[in-house]
Homo-oligomer: A and B are copies of this chain.
Amino acid sequence: MTLPPDTPDLTVSPGLLTDRYELTMLTSFVTDGSAEHPAVFEAFARRLPEGRRYGVLGGLGRLLPMIERFTFDADEIAWLLAEGVINEATAEYLRDFRFRGDIDAYPEGDLYFPGSPVLSVRCTLGEGVLLETLVLSVLNHDSAIASAAARMAVAAGDRPLVEMGSRRTHEEAAVAVARVAYVAGFASTSNLAAGRRHGVPTVGTAAHAFTLAHTSEVEAFRSQVEAQGVGTTLLVDTYDTEQGIRNAVAVAGTGLGAIRIDSGDLADEATAARRLLDELGATGTRITATSDIDEYVITALADAPIDGYGVGTRVATGSGHPTASMVYKLVAVADAPDGPLRPVAKKSHDKVSVGGRKTAYRTHDDGVLTGEWFTTGDAVPAEATPVQVAAFRGGRTVHSPDLEAVRAHCAAALATLPPQARSVAAGPSHLTVTEGATS
């Protein structure tokens, strides 16, 4: 009946969630014989969004099962042929295609910085190009949200955050937003599909429409308390907030769970609300603030008597940075099916990359992250901490932590940042990842 936690939706085939040129390139590789040549692809970000000190990797737990299911059915292949995207030899290649390679990855919820090799894909040239668009769609979207959500969660400290931005983004993106905001430290979401598919705790009580639909605010509160109990959250600002609070306590009693304020100057409104609630004896009733909340507002409201926040638009749109600008690059390729890998890198203009497969490691000082480096070998210095985990081996997922473990990993990773890197104030990336010493 209930799906196991963090089960991705399995009904949509991901094979065509890709750019035509991936199939066009594959067609050339099949035609010129290089589709089976060994290759290494790498996903990384050249930079963080302006002013951000760190990024948080999101989406790996959604991506890996989609890679397992990345196939093409007969109808899709017929369509690709009819559209002239592929030729008959490529159709033959796709008929039994599935990704059979190996993937190393940063764990979901971990930090990343400019140059961090967050995903390293060892496969054939044909396999590697086919995955590009899907890898980037998932990692760029989910990492943008995770990175914004982590800043909000860090700013909020012990005050719980509810993700409620579903209405501000694509209906399926909304589910991914809810999932990854939870990874980054949000307490819950309004999105029911995220609850069902991924096990994210869901919350929600009522909108202004609920009050308006009744003949009076008192009637609305009575109806809600009757259905939900006095522990519910009553939305008190439909007509007049002071009267709304008086009505709320009159209906629910001093055991009322919480009130929600969704308009006005939130510091002033919360201060007045706290005073009135205390006067009325509802000293245990919590105050939840919603309406244009983000990491900056949360920081500014640090001294206001607010017990929790609902965050909508700003988390669902990455707080000004809705995509993480990761790229996926070929970094090594062999010139024969059994040939040696040669590092490759595009060199024109400012887009310089380092070729070759990379192994990342970190250094810490008393628990604080002091450096992140990569080597182009397999080994890292003895005192360093490796970052990557084996995610895929021989075409199968070998890394599938449950969502609570991913969330705990994220919290632990954020705790390694020094105070200035955890600040919401604009600043440079805490680190830039470059080639370091080998062991």
Binding site for B on A (CB under 8 A): 1-2, 9, 11-12, 14, 16-25, 27-29, 31-32, 34, 37, 39, 41, 66, 75-76, 78-80, 82-83, 85, 87, 125, 128-129, 132-134, 136-138, 140-142, 164, 166-176, 190-193, 195-196, 202-210, 212-215, 223-224, 226-228, 237-241, 263-264, 313, 316-318, 322-323, 325, 328-330, 333, 335, 344-351
Beta-carbon contact of B2 and A79 below 8 Å: yes
Given A19-B167, A141-B168, 8 other A-B contacts at CB below 8 A? A11-B11, A19-B166, A28-B206, A31-B227, A136-B167, A136-B168, A142-B170, A263-B351
Beta-carbon contact of B323 and A27 below 8 Å: no
Q: How many Å lie between the Cα of A122 and that of B141 in the bound state?
A: 35
Pick the contact of A18: B27, B41, B192 (CB < 8 A). B192
Across-interface contacts of A167 in B (CB, < 8 A): 19, 132-133, 136-137, 140, 328
Q: How many Å lie between the Cα of A328 and that of B151 in the bound state?
A: 29
Beta-carbon contact of A346 and B208 below 8 Å: yes
Pick the contact of A196: B79, B87, B195, B328 (CB < 8 A). B79
Beta-carbon contact of A166 and B350 below 8 Å: no
A141-B169, A263-B349 known; A209 vs B18 contact (CB < 8 Å)? no
Beta-carbon contact of B125 and A140 below 8 Å: no
The 10 closest A-B pairs by CB, nearest first: A20-B204, A21-B204, A136-B167, A170-B173, A209-B330, A172-B172, A137-B171, A19-B190, A32-B223, A212-B344
Q: How many Å lie between the Cα of A40 and that of B167 in the bound state?
A: 19
Q: How many Å lie between the Cα of A224 and that of B129 in the bound state?
A: 15
Q: How far is the CB of A139 from chain B (nearest CB, A)?
A: 9
Q: How many Å lie between the Cα of A436 and that of B325 in the bound state?
A: 46
Across-interface contacts of A24 in B (CB, < 8 A): 204-206, 227-228
Between-chain CB contacts (< 8 Å), 13 pairs: A1-B82, A17-B193, A18-B192, A20-B202, A28-B210, A28-B223, A132-B207, A137-B170, A168-B323, A169-B323, A212-B344, A241-B348, A264-B348
Pick the contact of A333: B11, B207, B213, B335 (CB < 8 A). B213
Beta-carbon contact of B134 and A171 below 8 Å: yes
Across-interface contacts of A80 in B (CB, < 8 A): 192
Across-interface contacts of A328 in B (CB, < 8 A): 167
Beta-carbon contact of A82 and B2 below 8 Å: yes
Beta-carbon contact of A335 and B215 below 8 Å: yes
Q: How many Å lie between the Cα of A107 and that of B166 in the bound state?
A: 24
Q: Which residue of B lies closest to A170 (CB)?
A: B173
Beta-carbon contact of A226 and B263 below 8 Å: no
Q: How many Å lie between the Cα of A330 and that of B239 in the bound state?
A: 15
Across-interface contacts of A215 in B (CB, < 8 A): 335
Q: How many Å lie between the Cα of A80 and that of B209 in the bound state?
A: 22
Beta-carbon contact of A317 and B323 below 8 Å: yes
Beta-carbon contact of B166 and A170 below 8 Å: no
Q: Which residue of B lies closest to A355 (CB)?
A: B212
Q: Which residue of B lies closest to A173 (CB)?
A: B170
Q: How many Å lie between the Cα of A85 and that of B195 in the bound state?
A: 11
Across-interface contacts of A351 in B (CB, < 8 A): 263
Q: How many Å lie between the Cα of A392 and that of B15 in the bound state?
A: 33
Beta-carbon contact of B28 and A240 below 8 Å: no
Across-interface contacts of A206 in B (CB, < 8 A): 21, 24-25, 28
Across-interface contacts of A22 in B (CB, < 8 A): 204
Q: How many Å lie between the Cα of A162 and that of B429 in the bound state?
A: 33
* A37, A85, A214: residue with the most chain B Cβ atoms closer than 10 Å: A214
A20-B203, A172-B17, A173-B169 known; A227 vs B28 contact (CB < 8 Å)? yes
Q: How far is the CB of A39 from chain B (nearest CB, A)?
A: 7
Q: Which residue of B lies closest to A318 (CB)?
A: B322
Across-interface contacts of A344 in B (CB, < 8 A): 212-213
Beta-carbon contact of A29 and B83 below 8 Å: no
A20-B204, A137-B171, A190-B20 known; A213 vs B125 contact (CB < 8 Å)? yes
